[in-house]
Structure 1
């Protein structure tokens, strides 16, 4: 038992550069994770009346406003692995929000597109999202939002 206690109390030496970075960044990363979870939970709750969640809305919006048409391109754009994207697309297809068709150019390729119901779901979501956004971002100035945007881009481009 004392060996377990010894291991739990052990810390990297302070001269280790990885530890120094970790000690500085851990509070930020924890706060960022909590913020993402909270915003996602609020979006999920608000979107319940529309019948989708935040991740599903992200896929619908990617289909509506980006050039991604293949499951692989959508997975990369949304930030999930291709297998997960296939399962997410299965759910959206079963609900009539999108359709999959073989590409005319290359029959091995599947093109994904929104159905009329998918477009209507985006429109209904657009009536819910602004209030959630207003509530969550009300205490930020434009300068705060600009700075946060720059920092998040740096984190993503990292």
Structure 2
């Protein structure tokens, strides 16, 4: 059973809401800045964000289904298929039908893909460290803990909604 989400905070409301100090806007600005910088550096290795993001997931998680990869990257299935077509044409990934379920397509890095991703951890470390300039060790650890808490809250909200939807379906079918 998933943990119950905490009660909502009341930091924002319709009367005081503006874009600039909003959590979503700030997180988007940070992501855009990091992706832009990483793209500049990984572009030297002939990789774009669209390409290195799924390859990074595969590098750290190992082979996964194309559907799971699309979910992790918040992409629709068609866009993921087109991206995988390009990566496969560059001989960076391989797609194989699952032996357990032929409907499932498993994606993995080729040897060329592994080699292409060898620079990614160093490049991303540099990008993150550049963005964390001036942070103390304690501030960094606090930031990570707070962001992990936001992620956990988001998962709890999603899980509660899924549980609620499942209960509603059971009630309708029952």
Fold match by TM threshold 0.5: yes
- Alignment of 1:43 with 2:38, yes or no, is yes
Deviations 1:15-66 (A, max 9, x none): xx8404x617751332222111111100111111011123422211211222
Distance in 2 (alpha carbons) for counterparts of 1:131 and 1:26: 27
Q: CA shift at 1:114, angstroms? A: 0.7
Instruction: List 4+ stretches of structure 1 deviating above 4 A.
Output: none
Q: How many residues align?
A: 141
Question: Partners in 2 of 1:25 and 1:41 — Cα distance?
Answer: 21
TM-score by length of 2: 0.69
Larger radius of gyration: 1
What does 1:6-155 correspond to in 2, within 5 Å? Answer: 18-20=13-15, 23=17, 27-28=21-22, 29-66=24-61, 69-155=64-150
5+ long unaligned stretches in structure 1: 1-16
More helix by share: 1
- CA drift of 1:78 comes to 2.4
Please, which moves more after superposition, 92-101 or 27-36? Answer: 27-36
Gaps of 5+ in 2: 1-11, 155-174
Question: TM (normalized to structure 1)?
Answer: 0.75
